[in-house]
A and B are shown apart, each in its own frame.
Chain A
Amino acid sequence: MAKSPHNTLLFRTLSVLSPLTLLLVWELLARIHAIDTRLFSSPSLIVQAFAPLALSGELILNTLVSVQRVVLGFVAGAAPGIVLGMSMGLSPFVRSAVEPMIAATYPIPKLAIMPLILLVFGLGETSKVFTIAIGVFYLVVINTMAGVLNIDKIYLDVAKNFGASRKDFYLTVAFPGALPLIFAGLKLGMGMALILIVAAEMSAAKAGVGWMIWRAYDMFDIERMFVALIVLSVLGYIFSLLLDAVERWVVPWKQQ
């Protein structure tokens, strides 16, 4: 527990020092050949590999290609997920009709249906966007439905007592009440999107961060692979910061 400012400072310093130490140990082990640099590279080698990749524009290009796929897939999965999840939460009729299908297909690993997606949509952009969309969709639809179902019954009584119409009820109770869990679903979906982009770019892609990784594997270019991994990590971090910012803006009433 951080009781005094002194303690807070200590913990902050620790949080910065520990990853730096890890990098240092990694570099040291590489220098004294305790680890095989052909497999594990070293921080300095990765930095050396980073500069030309960044300067040639190759890294930026691949990153943008992946970002575009992630964003498109995310939106294509989240939007219908929210709409269907809201309907399932609000209507027992829709819920009974749709929930068995969701429950039955949700456990199928999304990677397992990639070959089918490739057959249906071909090798172009659509198949990659669709793979991501489907992964995001399930997480958003399930969380949105739970968000609506978890709204305290008292708020339904208040809306009814104050004479809310069906539309009023959606806009003033159901949707705002479900928002915290909708965002939980969106955040999980974003994590899923980053997993799936690498898998989707494994087959039949000519660009993208995931493609870079598989390309580096083919060429046994470990440094290039690490650079791509770092880009993915940074992307994940930026996306989660963005979602947090949107959440603070849309759900200002949530207790932090």
Chain B
Amino acid sequence: MAKEPGIKLEGVSKCFESRTGPVTALETIDLDIRDGEFFCIVGPSGCGKTTLLRILAGLEDSTSGKVLVRQGGGNRPLNSMVFQEQSVFPWMTVRANVSYGLRLRGVPAKERNEIAASYIRKIGLSKFADCYPHQLSGGMKQRVSVARAFANDPEILLMDEPFGALDEQNRIILQQELLRIWEETHKTTVFITHSIDEALCLGDRVLIMTAHPGRVKAIIDIDLPRPRDIAEIRTTLHYNELFQTVWLTLRDEVLKGKELEMAQGK
């Protein structure tokens, strides 16, 4: 028997009104994301991947179509998002940031502090629990943002290029940390990235989107063994084959996206 999907999208479309008329950002997206899956999305810039994630997060409405998220029961929140840009509250300590979702849900202070402390330990910031974000580096802030989403214990995790703004060394370390925390929970995760490498290192499957308007071009299985060591996995032959497959599928779309940008005189 097939497992019930974690997230099901049926004909999801999104149109924006712009000065030059309506613009279709997403066109009839049909998608089943399995329960407990790490699902990556890559696509040329401007293909609407962030829009798709914001629809999943409930921050934007789709113009048509349906989004279904499997509700496991209890008072577990539907989703928590890790944003691309700096999004930890500057006016809260690391501890308060990480326990934010729990606080809003009325979890008693003692319990939420324990949960927060365990995630702060997982991201290696125990010494900084009472610090404010301005005392932290960019990588540390993004760790807090990841911990805040995990601590909220949602049905699904949504990540919008969370490591995009970090330098490569920091990025690799955070990717490895994310893998470690994810292995413990196996939470359904939708992860947007522009890096093929990142998608292959982290994901179970990768969705390749078409250039404007965004549609499903292909979904590729990343059958690399888990648990993964990022440094190790990159040296394998299979990783390179997958990289080739994803890039060849993506390349045409990237070129098409460029042409479109030129045509619009950007």
A positions within 8 Å CB-CB of B: 154-155, 157-158, 160-165, 168, 172-173, 176-177, 179, 251-253, 255
Interface residues on B, range: 20 to 34
Contacts A172-B100, A253-B132; A158 near B91 (Cβ below 8 A)? no
CA distance A168 to B106 in the complex (A): 11
- Contacting A at CB under 8 A, from B85-108, are 85-87, 89-92, 100-101, 103-105
Inter-chain contact B59/A157, CB cutoff 8 Å: yes
* Residue among A165, A168, A179 making CB contact with B91, cutoff 8 Å: A179
| A153 smallest CB distance to B (angstroms) | 10
CA distance A251 to B90 in the complex (A): 10
Contacts A253-B134, A255-B134; A158 near B87 (Cβ below 8 A)? yes
Cβ–Cβ < 8 Å partners of B103 in chain A? 172
B positions within 8 Å CB-CB of A: 57-59, 77, 79-81, 83, 85-87, 89-92, 100-101, 103-105, 132-134, 152
Cβ–Cβ < 8 Å partners of A163 in chain B? 77, 101, 104-105
CA distance A253 to B92 in the complex (A): 7
Nearest residue, chain B, Cβ from A168: B104
Inter-chain contact B133/A253, CB cutoff 8 Å: yes
* Residue among A162, A168, A173, A252 making CB contact with B132, cutoff 8 Å: A252
| A163 smallest CB distance to B (angstroms) | 6
Inter-chain contact B91/A177, CB cutoff 8 Å: yes
Nearest residue, chain B, Cβ from A161: B81
* Residue among A158, A165, A179, A255 making CB contact with B89, cutoff 8 Å: A158
Inter-chain contact B104/A157, CB cutoff 8 Å: no
CA distance A24 to B47 in the complex (A): 73
CA distance A172 to B87 in the complex (A): 14
Inter-chain contact B80/A162, CB cutoff 8 Å: yes
Extra A-B contacts (14), CB below 8 Å, given A157-B81, A172-B89, A176-B91: A154-B83, A154-B86, A154-B87, A155-B87, A160-B58, A161-B80, A162-B101, A162-B104, A163-B77, A163-B101, A163-B105, A253-B133, A253-B134, A255-B134
Cβ–Cβ < 8 Å partners of B89 in chain A? 155, 158, 172-173, 176
Cβ–Cβ < 8 Å partners of B133 in chain A? 253
| B24 smallest CB distance to A (angstroms) | 23
| A65 smallest CB distance to B (angstroms) | 38
CA distance A160 to B81 in the complex (A): 10
CA distance A164 to B104 in the complex (A): 6
CA distance A111 to B101 in the complex (A): 50
Cβ–Cβ < 8 Å partners of B57 in chain A? 161
| A89 smallest CB distance to B (angstroms) | 16
Nearest residue, chain B, Cβ from A256: B134
Nearest residue, chain A, Cβ from B84: A154
Interface centre among A160, A162, A165, A173 (most CB of B within 10 A): A162
| A41 smallest CB distance to B (angstroms) | 48
Cβ–Cβ < 8 Å partners of B134 in chain A? 253, 255
* Residue among B85, B86, B92, B152 making CB contact with A162, cutoff 8 Å: B152
* Residue among A158, A168, A177 making CB contact with B83, cutoff 8 Å: A158
Cβ–Cβ < 8 Å partners of B59 in chain A? 157, 160-161
Cβ–Cβ < 8 Å partners of A177 in chain B? 91
| B205 smallest CB distance to A (angstroms) | 24
Cβ–Cβ < 8 Å partners of A165 in chain B? 104
CA distance A252 to B135 in the complex (A): 12
Cβ–Cβ < 8 Å partners of A164 in chain B? 104
Nearest residue, chain A, Cβ from B77: A163
CA distance A173 to B87 in the complex (A): 12
Inter-chain contact A161/B132, CB cutoff 8 Å: no
Interface centre among B87, B89, B132, B133 (most CB of A within 10 A): B89
Nearest residue, chain A, Cβ from B60: A157
CA distance A154 to B100 in the complex (A): 15
CA distance A252 to B101 in the complex (A): 22
CA distance A154 to B90 in the complex (A): 12
24 contacts between A and B (CB under 8 A): A154-B83, A154-B87, A155-B89, A157-B59, A157-B81, A157-B83, A161-B57, A161-B58, A161-B79, A161-B80, A161-B81, A162-B77, A162-B100, A163-B104, A168-B104, A172-B89, A172-B92, A173-B89, A176-B91, A253-B90, A253-B92, A253-B132, A253-B134, A255-B134
